[in-house]
Structure 1
Amino acid sequence: MDSESESTRAILDDAWGHIPQTRETTAGLGSFTRLRIERIIAVVVGLGSLALGAQALLAAVTEPVQENPAWHVPLMVMTFVPLGAMVIACALGRGVRLFAGIFAVIYPVALLLWPAASVGGEADPAREPWIWFLVNVATVASVLAFPLVLQVVWTALIPLLFGVVRLMQADFAREYWYSVTLDVSFALILGGMLTTLGWVFRSVAANVDETRARAVESYAAAASADAAEQERVAVAALMHDSVLAALIAAERAHTPRERTLAVAMAREALTRLANTEQGAEEGSDEPRDASSIADDIERAALELGVRLSVARDIDAATPPMPGRVARALVLATAQAIANAAQHAGGSGLAVTVEGSVDPARTCIAVRDTGEGFDLDRVPHDRLGIRASIFARVAAVGGTSEIHSDRRGTTVRLEWGEVPA
């Protein structure tokens, strides 16, 4: 399993190697575009906030104070310190969400304090207070810090809150209503545009990342299949030499010892030949019980387009078998089912799995009620029976036999533990 994991990781690394690697991409390979977009939004917001913050600071320092002098400096410190921290965080690309969230929360608090701070101050309907310049800064800070629902709430709440406190400062005088309405409308429109742009850019980035992830996954699957096919071709070449060597040894065997050696070489070659047809995804050699084999047969038949229910007569104490044996029996059974579906039209097709303790064995029977066939007349180049059933089962130490006549065909596969 470790080699499989390393192979999969190597394929994915090769796939991601086709994407430019930067600090943003290596931080999260599945969010390449989203990280870029977030960084761009943070930089743009930082620059815009710096410009509006400088304008607000200049107005607070140079223009006549509209709030009570005792409140002026504390309100400035309360507002500009979090704003400066947010601008620095946007420039550095670190702690952006935290400091933007702090400013987005502190600014409405400063607005709520404004009516109390402006008691005794001089209000001017033709001149906006310095805190007005930061209305949309608080809106765009919510885009950096909050989910979409809260962004919409902040976009609508902050301008309306400013309008209310501005009218409270002027005791709701009639001459203030027109200018305040214009200010609130402008802030709502600009804030809505900024929130919408942020949502659009992030949605596009998320779609691009999702498409890229699917493409890389498809590439990895194709590369894995190609690597498996190349390995299978290489193994086939090696198996050709192994089988050829076994045949030569069998031809030249004259003594009992030479015959025994030839049989061992043939069994080893057949075992390797059967195992080369298995993909890495088909599991390990962990013991399997007869019931799970029946389940695998049903799934294999379904993949062949044949829906059947395997009859089971399995003793609960039936000994399990090695995984390689189970796979060989399932594949041989699938071949028998395919033959029945192709040559007998699936007439009367039935599969039975039996398991017993004494003797310790597992038997699989595949029956159909077709016209049958003469095994001796099957051409030698037709390997569906000889290689896929007989050789495969023999390679794992099992036995197989076929009985066929005009009443139908029965393929019987059996595997039992070798007595110690």
Structure 2
Amino acid sequence: MAADERSLKEAWSSIPSQGEVGIGLERFTGQRMERILSTVAAIGSAALGAQALLGAVTRLTRPDIAHVGIMVLVFAPLLWMIVACVIGKGIKPAAGTFTIAYAIALALWPVVVDRSVREPSSQPWIFFLVNIGVVAAMLAFSTRVQLAWALALPILYGWVRLVQGDFEQSWWISTGFDVSFTIILGAVIISLAWMFRQVAAGVDEARSQAVEGYASAAAASAAEEERVAMSALMHDSVLAALIAAERAGSERERTLAVAMAREALTRLANTEASIAQEGSDAPVAKTQIVAELRRTLSEQGVDAVVEERGEATAEVPGKVARAIVLAARQAIGNALAHAGGRGLHIIADSAASDRLSVTVLDAGPGFDPDAIGEDRLGIRASIIARMAAVAGKSRIDSDAEGTTVVLSWEPS
């Protein structure tokens, strides 16, 4: 029995709504492109990092604390960034940490380097990581910061190399070549990444527009089918029920006419729904109904309050709960469309444990319910007929100060 209740609650919580369509598809290509960029960055960083580490170990003339410390400062964040890029998690903080740590290591380079080794044409091991710092900036920062970093890191490297060589003339040529090369390569890296990201964003935007267009076409088609189905219902079920009620002469005939009318109203209310049944008689808690109404407001992006009053443990049959939620959704949609959501407030009240009423209020300009065209089914079918189909009541009061829609149900 407990398993059945859990299954019913899970089914109730998964009532589809328009706000859920397309979630997770907005940046499908963009996410794949970011994954590709991080994977390529991991491969390149691992290759150049291994080359730099080998150079650092083989050229380590004096393994003192300063040299070992600067190696740890550079290679520990680099390893973290490579691992983050491989697993696809924590890429931005790891890449940002390496970029900052590498810049600090560059600034400290003239202090810890052995100046007795005078080789202006031979690049130190830290040179192999200049463009890896640019790649890390590409993964961690915005485009403007990436461009600034692609220019700043090579210039910083050139400065510390000239400081290491005491600004001798022999150091200017080799250092100038290294700086210009790293600036050009860094600009190419940033440009390619920006181009790939823009292409991915364009694909995602085109996909979003295509899905929107398809959804609009499907909605228009469904609306037309609904009109046809409604006409058939009005002609067959409802008209037959009215004729039967008019010709009923005995108690038995009147009971059958009432049953026919209720069945017609049920089908009328469920025409726009995705299933052709009323719903279950299993009890649904008031808290679940309130949660569903709040979810509807959240999906619509509306900052409104769902106020709870009365019995907190109230329950109603599943088909009643479903009818109330769908009718309330229609009332909320009307308030957003015609009143702009002004003064939107929802009250879920239960005077007893087996009774429930939901009130939807707004502060819009109001309307005349009697002036609504016959082909407008938002109120007649989605609210009035839907509540009548489950033996519920609906009341709509509207004037210049706003509109109040009351949906109520109590056991007969």
TM beyond 0.5: yes
User: Is the contact between residue 233 and residue 264 of structure 2 (CA under 8 Å) also seen in structure 1?
Assistant: no
What are the Cα deviations for residues 352-385 of structure 1, in whole angstroms up to 9, with x where unaligned? Answer: xxxxxxxxxxxxxxxxxxxxxxxxxxxxxxxxxx
The worse-fitting range, judged by mean Cα deviation, of 215-224 and 40-49 is 215-224
The answer to whether structure 1 residue 31 and structure 2 residue 48 are counterparts is no
Partner of 1:330: 371
One of 39, 43, 52 as aligned partner of 1:43: 39
CA offset at residue 214 of structure 1?
1.9
Structure 1 residue ranges without an equivalent (≥5): 17-27, 297-319, 336-395, 397-420
CA distance 1:10–1:73, change in 2 (3 Å): closer
Partner of 2:316: none
One of 105, 114, 126 as aligned partner of 1:110: 105
Partner of 2:67: 72
Q: What is the correspondence of 1:80-159 to structure 2 with a 5 Å cutoff?
A: 80-118=75-113, 120-159=115-154
The residue identity in structure 1 corresponding to 2:69 is: P
The residue identity in structure 2 corresponding to 1:74 is: G
User: Is the contact between residue 107 and residue 160 of structure 2 (CA under 8 Å) also seen in structure 1?
Assistant: yes
What are the Cα deviations for residues 130-149 of structure 1, in whole angstroms up to 9, with x where unaligned? Answer: 10010000011000011111
Structure 1 residue matching 2:27: 3-state secondary structure: helix
User: Is the contact between residue 274 and residue 328 of structure 1 (CA under 8 Å) also seen in structure 2?
Assistant: no
Partner of 1:229: 224
What are the Cα deviations for residues 297-350 of structure 1, in whole angstroms up to 9, with x where unaligned? Answer: xxxxxxxxxxxxxxxxxxxxxxx9xxxx95653335999xxxxxxxxxxxxxxx
The answer to whether structure 1 residue 173 and structure 2 residue 168 are counterparts is yes
CA distance 1:83–1:270, change in 2 (3 Å): closer
CA distance 1:6–1:211, change in 2 (3 Å): farther
CA distance 1:250–1:30, change in 2 (3 Å): closer
User: Is the contact between residue 103 and residue 138 of structure 1 (CA under 8 Å) also seen in structure 2?
Assistant: yes
CA distance 1:246–1:118, change in 2 (3 Å): closer
Q: Distance in 2 between matches of 1:178 and 1:110?
A: 23
User: Is the contact between residue 237 and residue 264 of structure 2 (CA under 8 Å) also seen in structure 1?
Assistant: no
Structure 2 residue matching 1:54: 3-state secondary structure: helix
CA distance 1:281–1:208, change in 2 (3 Å): farther
CA offset at residue 284 of structure 1?
4.6
The residue identity in structure 1 corresponding to 2:167 is: F
Q: Distance in 1 between matches of 2:160 and 2:170?
A: 15
The answer to whether structure 1 residue 55 and structure 2 residue 96 are counterparts is no
CA distance 1:240–1:179, change in 2 (3 Å): same
Sequence identity of aligned pairs in percent? Answer: 43
CA offset at residue 203 of structure 1?
1.2
The residue identity in structure 2 corresponding to 1:240 is: H
Partner of 2:177: 182
User: Is the contact between residue 68 and residue 117 of structure 1 (CA under 8 Å) also seen in structure 2?
Assistant: no
The residue identity in structure 2 corresponding to 1:150 is: V
CA offset at residue 120 of structure 1?
3.9
Partner of 2:192: 197
What are the Cα deviations for residues 198-248 of structure 1, in whole angstroms up to 9, with x where unaligned? Answer: 111111111211221222222222223323332332232221114542675
CA offset at residue 62 of structure 1?
2.0
Q: What is the correspondence of 1:285-304 to structure 2 with a 5 Å cutoff?
A: none
Q: Distance in 2 between matches of 1:269 and 1:330?
A: 27
Q: Distance in 2 between matches of 1:87 and 1:189?
A: 24
Structure 2 residue matching 1:171: 3-state secondary structure: coil
Q: Distance in 2 between matches of 1:160 and 1:126?
A: 17
Deviation above 4 Å: which 4+ runs of structure 1?
Answer: 67-70, 246-253, 267-286, 325-328, 332-335
Structure 1 residue matching 2:89: 3-state secondary structure: coil
User: Is the contact between residue 115 and residue 164 of structure 2 (CA under 8 Å) also seen in structure 1?
Assistant: no
User: Is the contact between residue 230 and residue 268 of structure 2 (CA under 8 Å) also seen in structure 1?
Assistant: no
User: Is the contact between residue 68 and residue 120 of structure 1 (CA under 8 Å) also seen in structure 2?
Assistant: no
Q: Distance in 1 between matches of 2:65 and 2:265?
A: 92
What are the Cα deviations for residues 155-193 of structure 1, in whole angstroms up to 9, with x where unaligned? Answer: 000000000000000000001111100000000000000
User: Is the contact between residue 11 and residue 223 of structure 1 (CA under 8 Å) also seen in structure 2?
Assistant: no
What are the Cα deviations for residues 19-38 of structure 1, in whole angstroms up to 9, with x where unaligned? Answer: xxxxxxxxx33210111000
User: Is the contact between residue 34 and residue 202 of structure 1 (CA under 8 Å) also seen in structure 2?
Assistant: yes
CA distance 1:94–1:176, change in 2 (3 Å): same
The residue identity in structure 1 corresponding to 2:370 is: L
CA distance 1:222–1:47, change in 2 (3 Å): same
TM-score (norm 2): 0.58
The answer to whether structure 1 residue 211 and structure 2 residue 206 are counterparts is yes
TM-score (norm 1): 0.57
Structure 2 residue ranges without an equivalent (≥5): 1-10, 274-325, 340-360, 377-393, 395-412
The residue identity in structure 2 corresponding to 1:126 is: S
Q: What is the correspondence of 1:272-311 to structure 2 with a 5 Å cutoff?
A: 284=330
Q: Distance in 2 between matches of 1:164 and 1:121?
A: 18
CA offset at residue 275 of structure 1?
9.1
User: Is the contact between residue 68 and residue 118 of structure 1 (CA under 8 Å) also seen in structure 2?
Assistant: no
One of 223, 236, 239 as aligned partner of 1:241: 236
Q: Distance in 2 between matches of 1:251 and 1:70?
A: 102
The residue identity in structure 2 corresponding to 1:32 is: F
- Bigger Rg, structure 1 or 2: 1
